[in-house]
Amino acid sequence: MATIRQRGNKWQAQVRRLGFPPISQSFQSRQDAEKWARAVEREQDMGAYVCRTEAESTTLSLLIERYKVEVVPAFRGAHTEVGRLANIAIAIGKLSLTAITPLVVASYRDQRLRSVTPSTVLRELQTLSAMLNHARREWGIPISNAVEAIRRPSPNRARDRRLEPEEETRLMDALDSKGRNDKGQLQAGTRNPWIKPIVRLALETAMRRGELLSLRWKNINIDNRTAYLPMTKNGESRTIPLSSAAKAVLQGLPRSIDGRVFPVPGGHPNCPTYGHPNCSTLAMGI
């Protein structure tokens, strides 16, 4: 039989049964306390009782911090995942895990869609969903995955247009360093000598930014016109054919002592900003 007692201005219900951990909850009225106690005892009688204390006392922010420490470091895109988790924590992190309902997640989705693209929101929802599933399956926290109950935004349409010849000419011209004017002020262009060859090679090979910055000379075969990528975004290796223009770009580059084709921050696993979505952009001065 449950124990109901008044503590201060609230009513506390406590259920103690053999074979179950003791559980208590406080309510504004005695009626609510009795109703809750009867529901708990009914679930225990039917063998369907699940202790929700941990879920009720844990905020989403606390779950995110644990997930960042125990799970995220194993991801190849760990920095990107941390950024997505930060956005989620800012918006709904103060809520308890039991309060993360489909209505809450749908509201978060709609709010984010006002400021970022559907693809960005979709990836954030996928991150939230993966974390909730991990907490339930691996950590035994009795929570449901509210993300599975809502409509997810459609991803952006893939881009399939290449630069027109005149557009490419203007781009290459804009990347040429113009030096300084008579007043010693930097003129248009870029000061980083690696920008232009990176862009030229990207246009010729369609390699992703991370793939370009991870290129190493030992995986370049100039004679066979190939560039080997041991690890790509999907976790597999692939070999990129090199056009005559791509070959010329590589032949014109100096060799870095560490073996990288483009020795800039963001392309090396030991770089503090490796994997961050903005690391190469910031480092290269774009």
Tokens 């907490």, residue located: 135
Is residue 21's pLDDT more than 80? no
- Look at residue 39 and tell me whether its pLDDT is greater than 70: yes
Angle 166-169-173 (CA atoms, 0-180°, nearest 5)? 140
What pLDDT does residue 280 have? 40
**d(C-alpha 247, C-alpha 18), whole Å:** 76
Q: Which domains does the chain possess?
A: 3-51 (no CATH), 57-149 (1.10.150.130), 165-176+188-284 (1.10.443.10)
Residue 281 confidence (pLDDT): 40
What's the confidence (pLDDT) of residue 283? 41
Q: What are the residue ranges of helices labelled H in the chain?
A: 30-46, 53-57, 60-70, 78-92, 102-113, 118-137, 165-175, 195-205, 209-213, 244-251, 279-284
Pairwise CA distance, residues 204 & 20, whole Å:
66
Task: Report the alpha-carbon distance of residue 107 to residue 97 in Å, rounded.
Answer: 16
pLDDT at residue 284 is higher than 50 = no
pLDDT at 229 over 50: yes
Q: CB–CB of 239/229 below 8 Å?
A: yes
List of residues 6+ apart from 265 with CB closer than 8 A: 271, 272, 273, 279, 280, 283
The arithmetic mean of pLDDT across residues 13-22, rounded, is 77
> What are the DSSP calls for 217-258, one per residue?
GGGEETTTTEEEESS-TTS--EEEE--HHHHHHHHTSPPPTT
Q: What is the pLDDT of residues 141-185, one digit of tens each?
A: 888 899 999 999 988 776 677 788 888 888 888 887 666 666 666
CA 259, 265, 271, 276 torsion: positive or negative? negative
Banded pLDDT at 224 (limits 50, 70, 90)? very high
Burial of 141 (0-12, 13-18, 19+ CB in 10 A): middle
Cα(121)–Cα(109) distance, integer angstroms: 7
228 has which bridge partners?
A: 239
pLDDT of residue 216: 93
- What's the pLDDT tens digit per position in 70-116? 999 988 778 889 999 999 999 999 999 989 999 999 999 999 999 99
What is the overall mean pLDDT for the chain? 83
